[in-house]
Structure 1
Amino acid sequence: MSILLHGDAAFAGQGVVYETFHLSDLPSYTTHGTVHVVVNNQIGFTTDPRMARSSPYPTDVARVVNAPIFHVNADDPEAVMYVCKVAAEWRATFHKDVVVDLVGYRRNGHNEMDEPMFTQPLMYKKIKQQKAGLQKYAEKLISEGVVTLQEYQEEVSRYDRICEEAHERSKDEKIMHIKHWLDSPWPGFFTLDGQPKSMSCPSTGLSEEELSHIGQVASSVPLQDFTIHGGLSRILKGRAAMVEARTVDWALGEYMAFGSLLKEGIHVRLSGQDVERGTFSHRHHVLHDQNVDKRICIPMNHICPNQAPYTVCNSSLSEYGVLGFELGFAMASPNALVLWEAQFGDFHNTAQCIIDQFICPGQAKWVRQNGIVLLLPHGMEGMGPEHSSARPERFLQMCNDDPDVTPKITEDFAMRQLYDCNWIVVNCSTPANYFHVLRRQILQPFRKPLIIFTPKSLLRHPEARSSFEEMLPGSQFQRLIPEQGPAAQSSGRVRRIIFCTGKVYYELNRERRARGMEDAVAIARIEQLSPFPFDLVKAEMEKYPEADLVWCQEEHKNQGYHDYVRPRMGTAIEHTRPVWYAGRDPAAAPATGNKHTHLLELQRFLDTAFNLDAFKGQS
């Protein structure tokens, strides 16, 4: 049974309460009825209810879903018991939400050191005249002859004794083994000492046959007499042609990852606004019959006979409530891949509480691992400040690794880093790497949140393609993609190596070609930003001993990855060479709203990145 405990001030004042009610009867979000218990004791006590809400009762927000609301005197235990039984019966019978409003008071202020008489003198004069609830109920039972005074006193003494003994025992505990708590909701997931059963991840590559089979499903309509939109027919034909050519784009790479996990019995759940079609009309995981209302087809559920189910659901226009729901789903289901996609990356702004309080510190603060995936469309394409930036700097600032210390490089370094971090932050530049990181997320022997800055323009970029070769057995997620062109063949003559991440690579590569500088400038892509790939970055820097080191990003200098990456690059090379910056100047907004200014800024930082004299004379 789903039971939520609320305070009265929060129930009336916090928007997530409304968002949660709004999910209560949606097919992919319902708990089939939740019992909401509101402890109505003026929790926001210095703010008088007349200043705290516009409705007579704090519970009136529940009326939006016509939930029955029971107001009951918290000083009457038998009435409370009766109301709770009715609420449970309502929930069990009708599978709908129900609210119990426990109308009570606080004997003290917000805590025991507050002086409530400062702000609520008349109310607290009345409260001081009240007997405690236990005393009231005991006197009632004694007067009715149900218990004697002696029985009551013995019961109170027995309970006090239990508490005292527990307090004494607690003094003998010298060490609290938090690791022993880690596995409590997931029996058997870890070993007895809280460690994962292995520090290796199975291969994330797939056989040629599997890739082809999933690709064929992705480009077909499994149902008979199902009429799809003409534009969708062209998209499916395009997918079929890609499979024939043994290549994948971003959408097909995602299809391969999801389909293969389903085939292996792993439930995949993807939710968020517009995820069925994809905000950018690239995904199309749910097909709609053009002639029959409400007739849909989900090809992903037709991959093989004994596969796990695929849940893909357009969410209501709620980020806070929906992300909280998905976090709980992932918490309860460690063997499911649970993903939430923001319509645009910056939409996570309104779910910041869930990210800051539960996802980022999940293991440190709540002693729980969680494998939720956040897909955040990100990239500067001249779309203005609201639809450009997923605010990478926020996620990177909250990473728990040390910028000034190179970790000890061991045989299992890459996996050990993942186990020690609080979350994983990636910005993939190829469909194959996106495919591998999604599969790694569920196949690795522990769970960490995964933050993926996903592309917009790269979804259809002709160069953002991967071949089957990059996804076959033996292939894996590349934390860093090194330079592989002419510069890598003559590394001693390379005058500059540019490190970057994500889609800006394609703009840098285009500019390098246009200037004919393929021999003089190397470009390396850091695909996994955190945990930072110190080992691979160091190796790439040392490969070009005569080259300037440059970090290039399309985001503004006070945003994006610069403040996170630059000191770690310096640490990796032991500060023997400076690391220069090429990118936009600092700004208050995430992006300009003017297309001309956007293109001007882009050309300016590309000029800096490829001007080999740009940093001469600077200290």
Structure 2
Amino acid sequence: MQMAYCQHIGVEFMFINDLQQCQWIRQKFEKPGVMQFTLDEKRTLLARMVRSTRFEEFLQRKWSSEKRFGLEGCESLIPALKTIIDKSSENGVESVIMGMPHRRINRVTDRHITLSLMANPSHLEAVDPVVQGKTKAEQFYCGDSDGKRVMSILLHGDAAFAGQGIVYETFHLSDLPSYTTHGTIHVVVNNQIGFTTDPRMARSSPYPTDVARVVNAPIFHVNADDPEAVMYVCNVAAQWRATFHKDVVVDLVSYRRNGHNEMDEPMFTQPLMYKQIKKQKPVLQKYAEKLIAEGAVTVRPLVSMKKCSVTLVRWLPLCLLRISLSTEVPFHSHLCIHRQTVMKSQFTLDWALGEYMALGSLLKEGIHVRLSGQDVERGTFSHRHHVLHDQNVDKRTCIPMNYIDPNQAPYTVCNSSLSEYGVLGFELGFAMASPDALVLWEAQFGDFHNTAQCIIDQFISPGQAKCVRQNGIVLLLPHGMEGMGPEHSSARPERFLQMCNDDPDTYPLYDCNWIVVNCSTPANYFHVLRRQILLPFRKPLIIFTPKSLLRHPEAKSSFDDMLPGTHFRRLIPEEGSASQNSAGVKRLIFCTGKVYYDLTKERKTRGLEDTVAISRIEQLSPFPFDLVKAEAEKYPQAQLLWCQEEHKNQGYYDYVKPRISRVFNNTRPTW
């Protein structure tokens, strides 16, 4: 329900099921005379309108042939943001993280406040969860558990706000304990047109902001041609966030004076609308005439305002929070969760225990670890059990890994909402905040990453080249062709390998955009997780994790493989009887991941253990040219082969073939 309280403001809040919050909003809008401004406030607002308008005019003169996606028609946006930041700063906010489409801005108040703008691709709204993740991380690391010092502002377009599913996904993170940023202020630049599509064709709901109702966020509709109404609404929005620490939406109802961009001709598709727009006075002219008529300003001071001021950004360092955990809690866990004890008695470890030891050892060394995704607490395949549930007390849980050492770093493991796009973006933003944390996102099945493809394509794969920022996020993607059919089988390794920025003819190594691995042993998985945080640089890490190998009797490692002096093995060579009979080996099969165990079983069945060598390429990118060459040279008479489970046009084949051939300049018989 929309309730209009003055000529230029409408408020949606009757769907909010909290009486205190509804009464709070009523006091802000139903009390007579609430929109009264002092002379100084009006002059400040006018000065900000001048800066906003003149800056747009400068850009138009300087880059007249460029697409700017300018503010003409919604010049009040800049004063709106300034008002939000000023009021939030008064309420104790020290750092603001912003995300927005297309344009780049950076404004700072006179108070000591850090303003950070996240780089955004042309995929509108894709930056939303990234901003939330970075905000959460900054709150975490400076001990801001209530979001009083660090906050986020998200700018949206009306068509994208209504049409992009990531908006809904991001809203649904807003109140989840491990994802909340304690209230985001959403500003929608509602220019009532999505390129050439008007609202009648762009959405089914009355307002573009209706998606915000799902989290009971109040929605303030305000006429962007009334700067005072905009200023008041933005003050209220900032106060709402400071009071209730919940999301709020400001809907700036405006227009695009020049169409979708400065090179567009909107009359082609919205002729009647743009006939009316051409008749509209610019908002600065309207407001200046209003203040002159009131006697608040004269023409001479107005002219003197037409000089843009320059502000400086002051960066505040993050403080790192370390939480000490040393509590003894009697707990009744499920009887089936005793695998770790059994494995330890056999002095071997499986996949789950290898992961547990990797993460636990990093925590003990002071490295914060965050594992997020659908069902990650238990694991999709019931193998992890990082959160124990008391079998006798409802909702009573325990995270044993937070009780390893009194001086350890905290471990965050959290089941996410049923979202890939939103959650992966969130975790990427979290990983941006500190290179000293290990941040992992696990897909329920490897193919689920396809609904987060935008984050992978636009942020993770090209992140260093586009933004000159290194990021160490880890993607865990369960992969294996195990009879499940086309779904829930393949993590599409070919896609990740196609996005590697290396040249197959380049030898030796190169500066890669990310690391792609497919480990076949728990020990190697242990090492690659530790290596990710101990490397002197950061690259995204893509891991194709197993399903059947989680409990495969042969997929075990000795604790000796994790002692000091051991390390991640980019290639695991043949170590059986064939390695002792190198001259007699007729075939050297290279493979990766689970298929190794299928091959060794078949080799044993056929009695070929002395004549067929099998070597595992554990790290696919950067490709281990040196180790492949050394392994192949051990068997000079052997034909080189590649084996994979996947179809020939999928998996790793197209990636590894030219690289193995390059090692020997196509002089060895292969394939």
Tell whether the structures are fold-level matches, with TM greater than 0.5: yes
Q: How many residues align?
A: 513
- What is the match of residue 362 of structure 1? 463
Query: How is 1:123-202 mapped onto 2 (pairs within 5 angstroms)?
Result: 123-156=273-306, 158-159=307-308
| Shift in CA distance, 507/29, structure 1 to aligned 2, threshold 3 Å | same
Q: 2:236 matched to which residue of 1?
A: 86
Of 480, 486, 498, 2:571 maps to 480
The equivalent position to 1:564 in structure 2, one of 655, 658, 664, is: 655
Change (3 A) 1:315 1:494: same
Give the Å deviation of 1:43. Answer: 4.6
Q: 2:224 is matched with which residue?
A: 74
| Shift, 1:123, TM fit | 0.4
Amino acid aligned to 1:23: L
Q: 2:613 aligns with which of 522, 527, 535?
A: 522
Q: Distance in 2 between matches of 1:248 and 1:231?
A: 17
User: Cα–Cα, structure 1 residues 268 and 361, in superposed 2: closer, same or farther, change >3 Å?
Assistant: same
> Are 2:374 and 1:374 aligned?
no
Q: Which amino acid aligns with 2:499?
A: M
Shift in CA distance, 421/98, structure 1 to aligned 2, threshold 3 Å: same
Q: CA deviation at 1:241?
A: 2.8
Structure 1 stretch displaced more, 399-408 or 147-156: 147-156
Matches within 5 A, 1:256-275: 256-275=357-376
Correspondence for 1:466: 557
Quick check: 2:185–2:247 contact (8 Å CA) kept in 1? yes
Rounded Cα–Cα distance in structure 2 between residues aligned with 1:268 and 1:141? 56
Of 306, 313, 336 in structure 2, the residue corresponding to residue 231 of structure 1 is: 336
Identity %: 81
Is 1:58 the equivalent of 2:58? no
Q: CA 1:246/1:186 → structure 2, altered by over 3 Å: closer, same or farther?
A: farther
User: Which residue matches 2:44?
Assistant: none
Write the mapping of 1:231-380 to structure 2, written as runs, cut at 5 A. 231-232=336-337, 236=338, 238-380=339-481
Q: d(CA) in 1 for partners of 2:367 and 2:536?
A: 14
Distance 1:517 1:121 in 2: 77
Write out aligned runs for 1:385-464 (5 A).
385-407=486-508, 417=510, 420-464=511-555
CA distance in 2, matches of 1:368, 1:554: 36
- 2:188 matched to which residue of 1? 38
User: What letter corresponds to residue 296 of structure 2 in structure 1?
Assistant: V
Find 2:581's aligned residue among 490, 496, 507: 490
User: 2:350 touches 2:557 (CA, 8 Å); kept in 1?
Assistant: yes
Take 2:195 and 2:597, find their aligned partners in 1: how far apart are those partners? Answer: 57
- The verdict on how the C-alpha distance between 1:316 and 1:188 changes in structure 2, with shifts beyond 3 A counting, is closer
Distance 2:330 2:441 in 1: 33
Counterpart of 1:523 in 2: which secondary structure?
Answer: strand
Of the structure 1 ranges 137-146 and 497-506, higher mean CA displacement relative to structure 2 is found in 137-146
Deviations 1:432-460, CA, capped at 9 Å, x for gaps = 00000000111111111110000000000
Question: Using the alignment, how far apart are the partners of 2:319 and 2:515 within structure 1?
Answer: 24
Query: Given residue 336 of structure 2, which amino acid in structure 1 is its aligned partner?
Result: G
CA–CA separation in structure 1 for the residues paired with 2:526 and 2:335? 28
- Whole-Å Cα distance in 2 between the matches of residues 186 and 368 of structure 1? 17
Q: Which amino acid aligns with 1:112?
A: E
**Does structure 2 conserve the Cα–Cα contact (< 8 Å) formed by 1:11 and 1:58?**
yes
CA contact (8 A) 2:470 2:539 kept: yes
Distance 2:435 2:296 in 1: 49
Cα distance in 2, alignment partners of residues 326 and 162 from structure 1: 34
Deviation string 1:457-508 (CA, Å, 9 cap, x unpaired) is 0000111111111111111000000111111112121111000000000000
- Whether the aligned pair in 2 keeps the contact of 1:74 and 1:103 (CA below 8 Å) is yes
Q: Tell me, in whole angstroms, the C-alpha distance in 1 between the residues paired with 2:430 and 2:193.
A: 29
1:326 deviates by: 0.6
Aligned residues of 1:35 and 1:97 also touching (Cα < 8 A): yes
* Deviation at residue 247 of structure 1 after TM alignment: 1.4
Q: Give the superposition deviation at 1:185.
A: 10
Counterpart of 1:6, as a letter, is H
- In structure 2, distance between residues paired with 1:404 and 1:43: 48
For 1:398 and 1:578, locate their aligned partners in 2 and report how far apart those are by CA, in whole Å: 28
More displaced, 448-457 or 569-578?
Answer: 569-578
TM-score (norm 2): 0.74
Instruction: Give, as a single letter, the amino acid of the residue that structure 2 aligns with 1:512.
Output: R
Conserved 8 A contact 1:362-1:368: yes
- 1:324 Cα offset (Å): 0.8
Work out the CA distance in 2 between the residues paired with 1:579 and 1:75.
71
**SS across alignment from 2:240:** helix
Q: Does the Cα contact within 8 Å between 1:223 and 1:297 map onto a contact in 2?
A: no
Matched, 1:28 2:28: no
Q: Aligned to 1:540, which of 624, 631, 635?
A: 631
Q: 1:302 to 1:162 in 2, by over 3 A?
A: closer
Give the secondary structure class of the aligned counterpart of 1:554: coil
Q: Which runs of 5+ in 1 are unaligned?
A: 164-183, 190-221, 409-416, 581-619
Q: Report the alpha carbon displacement of residue 242 of structure 1 after superposing the two structures with TM.
A: 1.9
Contact kept in structure 1, 2:641 and 2:670, CA below 8 Å: yes
Q: Residue 46 of structure 2 corresponds to which residue in structure 1?
A: none
Offset at residue 138 of structure 1 (A): 2.0
Partners of 1:369 and 1:186 in 2: how far apart? 18
Distance 1:253 1:131 in 2: 68
Q: What are the Cα deviations for residues 282-339 of structure 1, in whole angstroms up to 9, with x where unaligned?
A: 1011111111001111111110111111111111111111111111111112211111
Please tell me the residue identity of whatever aligns with 2:631. E
Alignment correspondent of 2:248:
98
Residues 101 and 224 of structure 1: CA distance in aligned 2, closer, same or farther (over 3 Å): closer
Contact 2:192 2:253 in 1 (8 A): no
1:68 CA drift (Å): 0.2
CA contact (8 A) 1:34 1:97 kept: yes
The answer to whether the 8 Å contact 1:107/1:128 transfers is: yes
In 2, distance between residues paired with 1:185 and 1:427?
Answer: 40
8 Å Cα contact 2:331/2:390 also seen in 1: yes
Q: Distance in 2 between matches of 1:405 and 1:300?
A: 43
CA distance in structure 2 between the partners assigned to 1:13 and 1:245 by the alignment: 55
SS of residue in 2 equivalent to 1:383: coil
CA contact (8 A) 1:380 1:555 kept: yes
Which ranges in structure 2 are unaligned for 5 or more consecutive residues? Answer: 1-150, 321-326
How far is 1:86 from its partner?
0.8
Paired with 2:388 and 2:404, the residues of 1 have a C-alpha distance of 15
- Mapped contact 1:247–1:468 kept (Cα < 8 A): yes
Q: Give the TM-score normalised by structure 1.
A: 0.81
Partner SS, residue 361 of structure 2: helix
8 A contact 1:185–1:332 mirrored in 2 = no
Do structure 1's residue 576 and structure 2's residue 658 form an aligned pair?
no
Contact between 1:285 and 1:299, CA under 8 Å: does it hold in 2? yes
Q: Partner of 2:47 in structure 1?
A: none
CA distance in 2: counterparts of 1:109 and 1:77, whole angstroms: 22
Residues 383-413 of structure 1: CA deviation (Å, up to 9, x unaligned): 12111000000000000011112126xxxxx
- Secondary structure, in 3 states, of the residue corresponding to 2:209? helix
The alignment partner of 1:553 has SS state of coil
